[in-house]
């Protein structure tokens, strides 16, 4: 057997980079609010999250942005926001298609800057099975004092970058 026949071309190692199915720029916004505001001790509240994705580039022709809003009743305290957790939410793209994301949240707070990194998958809809990475960065000087019993936390607005591959 000749060396060329010993290893077919299809067995040669290949490196394929993940193709970005959609990327949305940090002109996108993420707004979360709590009504009534959170305090040191748990309160019954409604958490409303509004997402607006702009400046998106996609492999889907015409897809340039998306949005999503959801409200959930919860019992939370300011301290609860310091823990990581999971989220499931739906983005409605400007094409009318939807993607439901299932992500884990990692939260980091330095001074007044809140950074939430979400990683997970597209559970259903457009891009189902793809990997999701989203980073949200916002500022609130109320969260840390709230965890110390000094006031309340009503939410924050930040910018977000979304990548689905």
In this predicted structure, the answer to whether residue 2 has a pLDDT above a threshold of 80 is no
Delimit the domains of the chain by residue range.
25-164
pLDDT, greater one: 83 or 155: 155
pLDDT, greater one: 18 or 67: 67
**What residues contact 37, with CB distance under 8 A and at least 6 apart?**
45, 152, 153, 154, 155
Model-level pTM? 0.85
pLDDT digit string, tens, across residues 85-105: 899 999 999 999 999 999 999
| Cα-based distances in Å from 25 to 56, 60, 88 | 6, 16, 21
Confidence class of residue 50 from pLDDT cuts 50, 70 and 90?
very high
């Amino acid at each position: 057997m000749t060396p060329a026949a010993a290893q077919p071309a299809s067995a040669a190692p290949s490196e394929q980079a993940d193709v970005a199915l959609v990327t949305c720029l940090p002109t996108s916004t993420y707004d979360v609010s709590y009504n009534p505001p959170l305090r040191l001790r748990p309160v019954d509240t409604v958490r409303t999250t509004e997402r607006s994705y702009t400046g998106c580039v996609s492999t889907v022709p015409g897809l340039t942005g998306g949005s999503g809003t959801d409200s959930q009743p919860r019992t939370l305290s300011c301290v609860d926001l310091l823990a990581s957790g999971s989220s499931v939410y739906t983005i409605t793209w400007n094409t009318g298609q939807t993607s439901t994301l299932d992500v884990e949240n990692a939260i980091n707070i330095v001074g007044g800057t809140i950074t939430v990194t979400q990683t997970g998958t597209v559970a259903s809809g457009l891009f189902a099975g793809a990997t999701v990475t989203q980073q949200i960065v916002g500022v609130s000087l109320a969260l840390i004092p709230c965890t110390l019993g000094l006031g309340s936390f009503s939410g924050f607005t930040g910018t977000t970058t979304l990548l689905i591959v």
